[in-house]
Structure 1
């Protein structure tokens, strides 16, 4: 089953890397899908229409972008507002937790050894 056909896991559902479906693994499964993180990051500053979001997610195809939006809406991380798609309160809270990881990664990556 490819990524586009796989439903968003729920608590207790097996996901890639975890048969137990622990909450953190359910979250990582969702966030590891193509463009899920990009959508969250691009909505962190302000709401965006589909076209604006697509422009900011450069290489995302409309079908992938639409699938991710549906998935992220189904788990209450983004919502459709009069101004376009926006992070929900849960989405903003998740972003507040992810942003420090992004900062950490910026320091970590330059120190990686290349073979």
Structure 2
């Protein structure tokens, strides 16, 4: 996507418009981004603890995603060295909660259990 003269915003993958929803979906669709936000939802974590919580994501990818999330205003580096959600980041995670509740109901449905049983054969 070509930048317009005087524009300081990043290009958004899959969108020529760069609308806010497209920019947000682009950011959230990057590998490990949602997992990092999810792991930070309850309390700040150090980089090492966050890496462990994220199934040993590579340090390079973790740092890149943390940089993206800090730039977007969702995550901040605390005085104690841990990463935590900003008020905006907490707001974003709250929007996930209805989806989380739905996923838990979906997981408990017989339809999904049947799929898991087929995969284990």
- Give the TM-score normalised by structure 2: 0.75
In the alignment, the residues of structure 2 paired with residue 65 and residue 24 of structure 1 have an alpha-carbon distance, to the nearest angstrom, of 23
Matches within 5 A, 1:34-113: 34-83=31-80, 84-108=82-106, 110=109, 111=111
Q: Structure 2: which 5+ runs fail to align? A: 1-8, 116-121
* CA deviation vs aligned residue, 1:30-60 (integer Å, no higher than 9, x gap): 0010110011000000000000000000141
- Give the TM-score normalised by structure 1: 0.79
Matches within 5 A, 1:17-28: 18-28=15-25
In the alignment, the residues of structure 2 paired with residue 48 and residue 90 of structure 1 have an alpha-carbon distance, to the nearest angstrom, of 17
* CA deviation vs aligned residue, 1:5-29 (integer Å, no higher than 9, x gap): xxxxx48x4432x321221111111
Q: Structure 1: which 5+ runs fail to align? A: 1-9
In the alignment, the residues of structure 1 paired with residue 21 and residue 56 of structure 2 have an alpha-carbon distance, to the nearest angstrom, of 28
Instruction: Return the structure number with greater relative CO, CA threshold 8 A, min gap 6.
Output: 1
Aligned-pair RMSD on alpha carbons?
Answer: 2.1
In structure 2, what is the equivalent of residue 5 of structure 1? none
